[in-house]
Chains A and B, each alone.
Chain A
Amino acid sequence: MRYKDLDPDRYSSVVIPGGFSFGDYLRAGSIAASTETMEMIKEMANQGKTVLGICNGFQILTESGLLKGALLPNLKMRFISKWVYVKVVRDDTRLTKNLPKKVLRMPIAHAEGRFVLEEEEARRLMVFQYSNEKGEVSEDYNPNGSVLNIAGIANEEGNVIGLMPHPERASFSLTSIDGNVDGLLLLRGLRW
């Protein structure tokens, strides 16, 4: 739906998808973060509804203060499209509560995905960490220079979640790499 048309009372969850809101002009997600629509979404989050931000949606959530931290330009200073593995390290969020797998394969596609936050807090809030197939987290698997290999975080309550990888692109076997649908497993968490 168009962002100006959101009626918060009609929905129990919001997904802010990836894209380039307002062309990412000024800073990724910053203009969208100051729209009235985001005020409504904050209200929804306060009511305990689920708010999921994917890629640019994650950037909007950090820019608007719904999630802690910030997303800076990748260390390589360029856009990176790549299939990665992420290890799921929190199971107290809406999305990861009943997840049958602990390592997921999904693609990233972003220029500003280097998550930064004071390390102790980051460790507490992180939900997804870039890893290898086995779930081993190391700098070798960090595509963008994020602190602690963080690919996504949630708020303390676990109802506001943001991640840079694209679960929706790993939800259809035809278009997914090797036919996996790990992203769909994650998105099923929206049905609660």
Chain B
Amino acid sequence: MVSLSEYELDVARKRLGRDPSPVEVKVIDALWSEHCSYKSSKIFLRSFPSEGPRVVMGIEDWQDAGAVDIGDGYAIVLKVESHNHPSAVDPFNGAATGVGGIIRDIISKGATPIALLDMIRVGELKDDKNKWLLKNIIAGIGFYGNSIGIPVVGGELSFDESFSDNPLVDVACVGIVKKDKIKPSVVKEPGLKLVLVGLTGIDGLGGASFASRKLSGENEIGAVQIADPFAGKIVMDVTLEIADKVEAIKDLGGGGLAVAVTEMANGLGARVYVDKVPLRVKDMSPEDIIISETQERMLFAVREENVEYVCKAFEYYEYPCAVIGEVTSDSFIRFIYEGKEIASLPSQLLLSPPLYAWPIREKARKINVKPNVELEQAVRSVLAHPDLASKEWAYSQFDYEVGTSTVVKPGEADSAVVSLPNGKLLAIKGDANPDLCAEDAYECGKAIFAEAYRNLAVVGARGIAAVDHLQFGDPKKPEIYSDFVDAVRGIGEAARFFSIPIVGGKVSFYNENKKGVAIKPTPLVVMAGLVEGKLLKPKVEEGSLVLIGYTRNEMRGSLFAKLFGPYGEVPKARLQEDYLASEVVLDLINQGTILFAKDVNRGGLMGSLMAILSKGYSAKVDPDRILGTDDLMAKLFSENGGRFIVITNSPESVVERAKRRGTIASVIGEVKKGNYLEIGSWKLNVKKEVEHHSNYLEVEMSD
């Protein structure tokens, strides 16, 4: 099954001056798949700021992952990817191979993977199929990450009906490498030998093509790869061991050998002897060998004199290693089988598919009136929402401390923190907000970038680099493409504002359910930052509760609006406020003035208070002290950005610090041991809510 359109076949025919052979069609299909070619997104992705003083290797270089300087001769390598389509069909293997794939992207740069994040979105758990999906997605991530020994240090887990048939499984990985040891994924000279390690089998046939169309609902299990973390561990360890002896490294991902060879040659040519590829099963057809996406394989470009050294290192672990061809100077990608040339295509043709800027049309927005909701019902419903529930059920299945470098662990703060070999501390966080993006993808693009920035500030870190993952429905539908363009504009604008380069990214289109309804637009930002001064491990203790920043009556896209009906304005991302409030928090951490800090986002102020209530503390809030709006529901549930709550023993110095930085903070209440939530004269015993918070997933997922 190929995904090429008639038009694209025609373009290929014209450029070739002949009809491509059936094998060649499959090669073109893989290279020109949306998954590998970014044909519907590339024009816009080019608008992202990808340069900066720290950038060692950016998005422009057509590399597998981006790298940024972190001082002392080290760089971190950052990458995010999804495995949405495979996870919808076979959630365990789909999610596990997603982890394996991202790890191989990092080692392709010669970097040692040190941390993973996973951002999971599934449909509501009242549906048993969603439970099955979630259970297996988490088990799959754990299976691979735990075995290979890379800690999953953080992530997101949220629920929405639009992900019912099409769960989103995003994984990000951070690696560390000596700056002068970074390996390219492309070659610059002909004559190098192409060395392939690992066995090629019949799993994952045409996976890139599969990921580039809608789920058909038919049997597509053959397009999903099978995970083998022990093999992955050998590949990782040996690749890092021999990295110095090779000229280029490339992971075999989407499009298999066809894509890996072509992208590695990067405009040069290659000759590949398909018979030399070590196979897992007999009698594979040459075209299947070329496009198979079997996991745990790597491609190296190696000088002839180093080939033996490289293969010996793999053979120590009885891992297959073979010279399958060489890089040539003639700019043709050739596959040879049983002495016959079965494909011969110009590199330029393969690397330059038609690029599309599809028509856009903005959605019509309805004006709705504010729903009439009692305070108690509002508080209880929001606090009980699954998005706010403790995610311990999920992260306790991950070996989040393997490697003994996890400083701030899952569930402890808004970001994870890991220690680096040069003694520095790296904070990382991934953020998305499908509900907001469904309302306004442009404001949302800015908002998620700003949220990631604030999340890092909570532990004392400033963002230095970001990668993005853009997930949407069918790009040929104008309203969906409009959201895509808006999201790119929003993310790009925020990245420029914060001067944080986007060093890599990924796009996933065609995320729809069986009825053809698209997922809510889900662009996602993963940001990494350094703790430059003091680290804050947020700890709930008794003290004054201070809110930094203005609260606005902008309720659209909020959890409150999701529960009780959409209304009001879309929150505007006032990036200046995010920046200023973050600076205040960083100051306070470095002064040692605060015990606890948390970004205000999902569920508004009430949602953020859950992090305090769930630790066995009471929170008392005077709504009159919440500045920026007179509307009580907005005060409590607005999700506009630019805000933090902090616990402190010297509230006045927090207020003073905010003023000095050009913004405001207000002492809104206090935190004491107990189990009450007080809002003005209204009081609620939250024992039940806290229990629900701790047990929701455990209970839901146990049957």
Please report A residues at the B interface, Cβ cutoff 8 Å.
18-20, 22-25, 78-82, 107, 109, 111, 166, 168-169, 171-172, 174-175, 177
Q: Would B149 and A19 count as touching, CB distance under 8 A?
A: yes
Q: Would B407 and A174 count as touching, CB distance under 8 A?
A: yes
Q: Which of A20, A78, A82, A166 contacts B230 (CB under 8 A)? A: A20
Q: Which of A19, A79, A174, A175 contacts B142 (CB under 8 A)? A: A79
Name the B residues within 8 Å of A23 (CB-CB). Answer: 147, 228-231, 233
Q: Would B398 and A22 count as touching, CB distance under 8 A?
A: no
Q: Which of B233, B401, B405 contacts A109 (CB under 8 A)? A: B401
B652 to A: closest C-beta gap in Å: 29
Q: Would A175 and B397 count as touching, CB distance under 8 A?
A: no
Interface digits, B213-233 against A, CB 8 Å rule (1 contact, 0 not)?
A: 000000000000000111101
Q: Would A175 and B419 count as touching, CB distance under 8 A?
A: yes
Tell me the bound Cα distance from A18 to B402 in angstroms. Answer: 9
Name the A residues within 8 Å of B92 (CB-CB). Answer: none
Tell me the bound Cα distance from A19 to B229 in angstroms. Answer: 12
Q: Which of A80, A169, A174 contacts B401 (CB under 8 A)? A: A169
A-B contact pairs, 18 of them (CB 8 A): A18-B402, A20-B146, A20-B147, A20-B148, A20-B230, A23-B147, A23-B228, A25-B230, A78-B142, A79-B139, A79-B142, A79-B397, A79-B398, A79-B399, A80-B396, A81-B399, A109-B399, A175-B401
Interface digits, B229-254 against A, CB 8 Å rule (1 contact, 0 not)?
A: 11101000000000000000000000
Q: Would B404 and A22 count as touching, CB distance under 8 A?
A: no
- B409: nearest chain-A partner, CB-CB: A177
Is B395 part of the binding interface, using a Cβ–Cβ cutoff of 8 Å?
yes
A4 to B: closest C-beta gap in Å: 8
Name the B residues within 8 Å of A22 (CB-CB). Answer: 230
- B231: nearest chain-A partner, CB-CB: A23
Centre residue among B229, B231, B396, B405 by max chain A CB count within 10 A: B396
Q: Would B149 and A175 count as touching, CB distance under 8 A?
A: no
Is B406 part of the binding interface, using a Cβ–Cβ cutoff of 8 Å?
yes
Q: Would A107 and B230 count as touching, CB distance under 8 A?
A: no
Name the A residues within 8 Å of B229 (CB-CB). Answer: 20, 23
Name the A residues within 8 Å of B231 (CB-CB). Answer: 23
Is B637 part of the binding interface, using a Cβ–Cβ cutoff of 8 Å?
no
Tell me the bound Cα distance from A111 to B406 in angstroms. Answer: 20
Tell me the bound Cα distance from A78 to B397 in angstroms. Answer: 7
B136 to A: closest C-beta gap in Å: 11
Within 8 A of A (CB), among B595-620: none
A79 to B: closest C-beta gap in Å: 5
Name the B residues within 8 Å of A177 (CB-CB). Answer: 409
Tell me the bound Cα distance from A24 to B231 in angstroms. Answer: 12
Tell me the bound Cα distance from A168 to B228 in angstroms. Answer: 27
Name the A residues within 8 Å of B142 (CB-CB). Answer: 78-79
- B539: nearest chain-A partner, CB-CB: A178
Interface digits, B147-168 against A, CB 8 Å rule (1 contact, 0 not)?
A: 1110000000000000000000
Q: Would B149 and A20 count as touching, CB distance under 8 A?
A: yes
Interface digits, B398-420 against A, CB 8 Å rule (1 contact, 0 not)?
A: 11111011110100000000010
Name the B residues within 8 Å of A109 (CB-CB). Answer: 146, 399-402
Besides A82-B396, A172-B404, 10 new A-B residue pairs in contact (Cβ under 8 A), listed by A number:
A20-B233, A78-B139, A79-B399, A81-B395, A81-B397, A81-B400, A109-B401, A109-B402, A175-B401, A177-B409
Tell me the bound Cα distance from A34 to B228 in angstroms. Answer: 21
The 3 closest A-B pairs by CB, nearest first: A23-B230, A20-B147, A109-B399
Tell me the bound Cα distance from A78 to B139 in angstroms. Answer: 8
Tell me the bound Cα distance from A85 to B402 in angstroms. Answer: 19
Within 8 A of A (CB), among B124-156: 139, 142, 146-149
B674 to A: closest C-beta gap in Å: 21
A108 to B: closest C-beta gap in Å: 10
Q: A19-B149, A24-B147, A175-B407 are in contact. Are A81 and B401 (CB under 8 A)?
A: yes
Tell me the bound Cα distance from A23 to B404 in angstroms. Answer: 20
B457 to A: closest C-beta gap in Å: 20
Q: Would B405 and A175 count as touching, CB distance under 8 A?
A: yes
Tell me the bound Cα distance from A169 to B405 in angstroms. Answer: 9
Name the B residues within 8 Å of A20 (CB-CB). Answer: 146-149, 229-230, 233
Tell me the bound Cα distance from A80 to B397 in angstroms. Answer: 5
A27 to B: closest C-beta gap in Å: 14
Name the B residues within 8 Å of A168 (CB-CB). Answer: 404
Name the A residues within 8 Å of B146 (CB-CB). Answer: 20, 79, 109, 111
A172 to B: closest C-beta gap in Å: 7
Name the A residues within 8 Å of B406 (CB-CB). Answer: 175
Centre residue among A82, A171, A174 by max chain B CB count within 10 A: A174
A1 to B: closest C-beta gap in Å: 13
- B701: nearest chain-A partner, CB-CB: A78
- B147: nearest chain-A partner, CB-CB: A20
B682 to A: closest C-beta gap in Å: 35
B535 to A: closest C-beta gap in Å: 9
A5 to B: closest C-beta gap in Å: 11
B640 to A: closest C-beta gap in Å: 34
- B152: nearest chain-A partner, CB-CB: A81
Centre residue among B230, B400, B407 by max chain A CB count within 10 A: B230
A164 to B: closest C-beta gap in Å: 13
Name the A residues within 8 Å of B230 (CB-CB). Answer: 20, 22-23, 25
